[in-house]
Amino acid sequence: MVTLADCQRTQHAWFRALAQATGGRAFSTHQMDWVWLPETAEMLCMFPTSITVAGLEPALAEAERRGAKTVGVWMNAATREGILPQYRFERGWQPWWMTRALDVESVAAASEDPDGRVALTSVRADEVWLATARHGEEWAGRSYAYLPPEQGKKHVAGIFDMVVAPEHRRTGIGTALLNRLSEAAFNAGAEDLMLNATPDGQRLYRQHGFELIGKGQTWWFHPSQAA
């Protein structure tokens, strides 16, 4: 059974992998874990158990030094925001944590008639995949799957950064992306999938067997707006 803690670990692992691949870094400040993503100029704190001055201020200084456009805190809904409003953080969107089990029957059924609009690229063997959709010459969407190594007994893969171009929504692109990534992750040993959805996006995932297991909370600070 996949838990909220499993979802959070997989999300954190994905951001660490992104940082490693793009010249960023992961670091800790007094039991607050941070990830710097240079391509989007984001400094992200991942699931702190408490918010402290000693943990927050050094990371904000590092964000300023690096020219961060956004500083975010991803939180378990049970964790209090504490001093974040005092540092001009604003309450953001809620991740809807959703999971589903993978099995031979469901994966085989979804892959019986593959959608030719979607191409799959193995970014890192048996670990990271990119599914890209095109409609004719037009880019139509993309998403990633990530199966973190060394998970122990659990084998949970995450679906991340699902984007479908507005003009191609409700044409089956989202389903096709999800099917290709699910098959790739299953073939690499994944037993379950997790993702964080929006209230609108969760309808698609429910249709494909995902269940909501909990909600989180994000907080955001935009240094340029506060200057």
Whether 79 is covered by a domain: the verdict is yes
Based on the fold, state whether residues 9 and 91 are members of the same structural domain: yes
One domain for residues 107 and 91: no
| Residue 80 shares a structural domain with residue 108 | no
pLDDT digits (tens, 9 = 90+) for 117-151: 999 999 999 999 999 999 999 999 999 999 999 77
Using alpha carbons, select from 183, 171, 160 the residue that is nearest to residue 135.
Answer: 171
Position 36 confidence tier, pLDDT thresholds 50, 70, 90? very high
**Number of structural domains the chain divides into:** 2
Model pLDDT, residue 63? 97
| Pairwise pLDDT comparison (46 vs 204), residue with the higher score | 46
Considering the domain architecture, whether residues 10 and 90 belong to the same structural domain is answered as yes
H or E stretch at 31: none
Residue 211 lies in a domain: no
CA 143 to mean position of chain CA atoms:
10
pLDDT tens-place string over residues 53-97: 999 999 999 999 999 999 999 999 889 999 999 999 999 999 999
Query: Which pair of structure tokens corresponds to residue 138?
Result: 């037009």
- Asked if the structure places residue 127 within a domain, the reply is yes
Q: Do 124 and 49 have their domain in common?
A: no
CATH of the domain at 181: 3.40.630.30
Same domain? For 87 and 121 the reply is: no
| 7 close to 97: Cβ distance less than 8 angstroms | yes
pLDDT of residue 204: 86
| Beta-carbon count within 10 A of 203 CB | 10
CB 2 within 8 A of CB 99: yes
Is 203 among the domain residues?
A: no
Residue 197 lies in a domain: no
Residue 45: per-residue pLDDT = 98
CATH of the domain at 222: 3.40.630
Q: Are residues 45 and 10 in the same domain?
A: yes
Predicted confidence band at 226 (pLDDT cuts at 50, 70, 90)?
low
CA atoms within 13 A on the CB side of 115: 24
Answer whether residue 164 shows pLDDT above 70. Answer: yes
SS3 at position 160? strand
For residue 159, is it within any domain? Answer: yes
pLDDT tens for 165-188 read 999 998 999 999 999 999 999 999
Q: Which residues contact 158 (CB under 8 A, 6 or more apart)?
A: 7, 10, 11, 13, 14, 145, 146, 147, 148, 193, 194, 195
220 lies in a domain?
yes
Q: Are 175 and 203 in contact (CB under 8 A)?
A: no
Q: Which two tokens stand for residue 213?
A: 């297991």
Q: Average per-residue pLDDT in the chain?
A: 94
Structural domain containing residue 158 = 103-190
